[in-house]
């Protein structure tokens, strides 16, 4: 397909020649605003009919791939945008085969996080095949260290390889994945809330460049308790809550100032009423004197009521402040000026003991940590260090983390996962299957593996072992 870029009248266009005519599709395309399809016009130049797509403020996926390594969020909104576009096209009774799924004809707007594609009347290619090729392109630029994105992308790719796949099946998978991702986000929020203040006060730093590719090697730098600020916060949520409390405090001071200002003005008005009433009584103007005394009494009552309400609100606020932050919710301590020097010293000594104890535990755990690897047992199998999880294994070099050479190995065959210090192997719907200690694994169901287990992938035989970390 011939493509050409032109600028005219302050606008940028992608110009594609029309090889065939399809009047119904042309009319439907030109007279309707289809979500996910670039705005276009059909024109004729030198007896050649072309379709022009306006691409102002947009960039192609080809440029986007060159700029960065994709994360799970990028993968999801790209595939989500493509599927939504195909759904929109089908709603207007247009063929989804008319949507061009080349990476240089798929455009995105970073600000809106939206995907827009080109539709060519009378154009026709196997949409599912083109989607499979686009997914393979995404695999080449995807960060395979993100477990969430690995599950979604490789699941989508395996789905496209099934026979008689349809757009409705892909849409169902997209919706299911969207719900799963939402559940993971909610779970992460709950975990963050539960873990507020439970982490130790250490500065965790990655080790030097020589250990860049090795996971979970850290240096732990102790912070002396005297460096801890009484307002130390360990999450964005706590930062937000601290700002809210600061705003509430300022608002309270403002209301306190207004209260006393009104009270002072009311007392001044009351004194004026009292003086005027006495003046009227001295002059014998009994009626005016009584009215002045009545206003004075009303003013005194209002001053009293306002002060009583103010005291109740103040007591309630102080009570809420005492109950606001439970001890387990925050890894900080409030040393007020009213506390004695002995109490302050005792708290700091206790905190220092906790810090040193936790530091020793972390160092011991780091020393006990071992690095897993697959040891090749037969002559054809080479050793595979598991330097990251999840780690995808297969024969397609552009799409996997560990390349396997041998017969019976699928392009994307299996995946090694970890949960804490426990490792699992999962078969990714491979053609010949994955075997654990002679047992064939069910597709997409993780199997726990221990040191010494035998793993068979194609004609390759491996033994799962752990070696001491450096």
CATH 1.10.510.10 fits 4-187, yes or no: yes
Domain boundaries, the chain: 4-187, 236-329, 370-468
Flag whether pLDDT at 228 surpasses 60. no
C-beta atoms surrounding 159 within 10 Å: 18
Mean pLDDT for the stretch of residues 119-130? 88
Domains 4-187 and 370-468 share a fold: no
CB 80 within 8 A of CB 36: no
How confident is the model at residue 191, as a pLDDT?
65
Mean pLDDT of the chain: 77
**CATH code of the region 370-468:** 2.60.200.20
Flag whether pLDDT at 223 surpasses 50. no
CB 462 within 8 A of CB 376: yes
* Of residues 195 and 142, more confidently modeled: 142
Flag whether pLDDT at 134 surpasses 80. yes
Rounded CA-CA distance 76/26 in Å is 31
CB 428 within 8 A of CB 392: yes
Mean pLDDT for the stretch of residues 122-134? 89
321 band by pLDDT with thresholds 50, 70 and 90 = low
Flag whether pLDDT at 90 surpasses 60. yes
Flag whether pLDDT at 350 surpasses 50. yes
- Pick from 467, 417, 420, 469: which is nearest to 447 by CA? 417
- Pick from 365, 366, 363, 385: which is nearest to 374 by CA? 385
CB 137 within 8 A of CB 125: no
């Amino acid at each position: 397909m011939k493509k050409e870029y032109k600028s005219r009248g302050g606008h940028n266009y992608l110009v594609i020649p029309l090889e065939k005519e399809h009047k119904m599709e042309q009319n439907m395309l030109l007279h309707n605003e289809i979500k996910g399809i670039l705005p276009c016009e059909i024109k004729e130049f030198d007896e050649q009919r072309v379709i022009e797509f306006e691409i102002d403020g947009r960039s192609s996926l080809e440029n986007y791939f060159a700029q960065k390594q994709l994360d799970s969020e990028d993968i999801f909104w790209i595939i989500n945008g493509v599927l939504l576009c195909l759904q929109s096209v089908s709603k207007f009774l247009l063929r989804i085969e008319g949507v061009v799924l080349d990476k240089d004809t798929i455009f995105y707007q970073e600000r809106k996080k939206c995907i827009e594609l080109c539709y060519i009347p009378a154009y026709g290619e196997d949409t599912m095949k083109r989607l499979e090729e686009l997914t393979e392109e995404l695999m080449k630029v995807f960060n395979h260290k993100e477990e969430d994105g690995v599950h979604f992308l490789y699941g989508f790719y395996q789905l496209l390889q099934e026979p008689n796949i349809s757009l409705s099946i892909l849409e169902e998978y997209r919706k299911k994945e969207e719900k799963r991702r939402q559940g993971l986000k909610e779970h992460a929020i709950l975990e963050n809330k539960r873990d507020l203040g439970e982490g130790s006060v250490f500065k965790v730093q990655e080790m030097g460049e020589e250990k860049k590719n090795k996971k979970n090697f850290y240096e732990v730098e102790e912070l002396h308790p005297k460096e801890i600020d009484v307002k130390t916060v360990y999450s964005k949520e706590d930062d937000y809550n601290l700002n809210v409390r600061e705003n509430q405090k300022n608002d309270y001071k403002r209301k306190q100032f207004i209260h006393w200002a009104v009270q002072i003005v009311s007392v001044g008005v009351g004194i004026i009423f009292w003086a005027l009433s006495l003046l009227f009584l001295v002059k014998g103007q009994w009626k005016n004197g009584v009215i002045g005394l009545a206003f004075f009494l009303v003013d005194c009552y209002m001053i009293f009521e306002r002060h009583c309400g103010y005291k109740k609100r103040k007591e309630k606020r102080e009570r809420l402040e005492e109950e606001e932050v439970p001890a387990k919710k925050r890894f900080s301590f409030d040393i007020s000026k009213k506390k004695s020097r002995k109490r302050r010293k005792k708290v700091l000594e206790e905190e220092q003991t906790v810090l040193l104890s936790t530091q020793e535990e972390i160092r011991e755990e780091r020393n006990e940590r071992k690095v897993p690897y697959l040891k090749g047992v037969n002559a054809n199998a080479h050793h595979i260090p598991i330097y990251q999880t999840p780690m995808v294994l297969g024969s397609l070099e552009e799409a996997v983390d560990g390349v396997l050479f041998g017969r019976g190995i699928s392009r994307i065959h299996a995946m090694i996962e970890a949960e804490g210090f426990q490792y699992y192997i999962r078969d990714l719907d491979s053609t010949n299957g994955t075997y654990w200690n002679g047992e064939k694994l069910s597709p997409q169901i993780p199997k726990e593996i221990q040191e010494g287990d035998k793993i068979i992938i194609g004609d390759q035989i491996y033994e799962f072992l752990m070696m001491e970390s450096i």
